[in-house]
Chain A
């Protein structure tokens, strides 16, 4: 790889971040947003609303839930609660990324500002590549990638709005299918401990059950019940492992 002759400045690393939009994760996200645009068109969301939602919410599962809630004529507090609960996962993701990109001189206000651009794709992308960026330029690198990725997807939604209606049915259906497959594989691949795998499996199995029982609250119930079951299983396995390693007289260190 070519490296700059003199120590590169902040704008160089901002640009390096921007260049990250030419990558597989970014490409998959573009396709997913074409799929979302189709979903928005079919749901009767206007172009301006869809573009605004892309830039302001910037988390596909939350956006899909928001559209579903809005058109299911959910009251504002109910929609807020549903989206809030589905977005809790952003908190640990951000909490994990921040120590990677901050230095002691980084101001909290700058981190609060760039945190808006953290979502699954930018998180996976940054965690993979951040080690090669000098610590003092990491916030700029992330900002370059995150802001470019968000802007490009706002443009895709804006310009694609009229085009997706004209897509052949096979392509339209396939783009809808891309989003769930992208979510499940990218979240699974970026998981750091077993609780994520268990929660994913329990959630996928429970969702259709709760959909039959309580179609309006299926996602909420699946999250709380499924998540708690997954947490219980994870605790149980962890205790078993701790006991097993204690019995074999290993040092009492348990790796997750």
Chain B
């Protein structure tokens, strides 16, 4: 039962509905119900959050190291270098996201223009 299993028009929407919509909203609904009953520093919640954060970190690393689409044509050292320097500047500039994002974007654009000549 994968994405291409059925030729019906509704199949991709059902696939998105189950593997996307329900898979995300069940946590939101559970979050509402759990609400303030779960203490913010309970060990279980910290473990759950650590696993979740590491999952997102893996997504971030894969988007930079093994990207899809046009970004794959940018040199690997430029992608990693721009991300690392952008992140360092973000930390130094008082954890303001726009500073880090701006730095990383400028670096990768300039780097790409220079490397393609």
Contact = CB atoms under 8 A, between A and B. Distances in A.
A235 B46 CA distance: 10
B35 A204 contact: no
Interface string A60-82: 01111110111101111101100
Contacts of B105: 174, 177-178, 181
Interface range for A: 35 or more
Contacts of A225: 54
B52 to A, nearest CB: 3
A17 interface: no
A64 B50 contact: no
B43 to A, nearest CB: 7
A212 B30 CA distance: 35
Interface string B56-70: 111111111111111
A98 B32 contact: yes
Contacts of A74: 2-3
A189 to B, nearest CB: 5
A38 B54 CA distance: 26
Contacts of A90: 24, 27-28, 31
B100 A181 contact: yes
A187 B95 contact: no
A203 B61 contact: yes
A227 B54 contact: yes
Given A79-B19, A177-B105, A199 B69 contact: no
A224 interface: yes
Interface in B41-92: 41, 43, 45-71, 73-74, 79, 82-83, 86-87, 90
B16 A56 contact: yes
Contact of A227 (B26, B40, B52, B82): B52
Contacts of B63: 64, 176, 179-180
A198 B69 CA distance: 30
Given A38-B69, A94-B32, A203-B57, A211 B62 contact: yes
Interface stretch (A3-11, A110-118, A244-252): A110-118
Contact of A211 (B26, B66, B71): B66
Contacts of B60: 180, 183-184, 203-204
Interface string B97-109: 1101100110011
B18 A76 contact: yes
Interface string A174-207: 1011111111111111001101101111111011
Contacts of A172: 69-71
Interface string A228-256: 10110011000000000000000000001
Contacts of B87: 181, 184-185
Q: Closest 10 CB pairs between A and B?
A: A203-B57, A94-B31, A227-B51, A89-B52, A223-B55, A226-B54, A203-B54, A207-B61, A199-B53, A222-B58
25 contacts: A52-B13, A52-B16, A76-B18, A80-B22, A80-B23, A83-B20, A88-B27, A88-B48, A89-B27, A108-B33, A169-B70, A173-B71, A176-B63, A176-B71, A177-B64, A177-B67, A180-B59, A199-B49, A203-B56, A206-B58, A208-B61, A211-B66, A223-B52, A224-B51, A231-B51
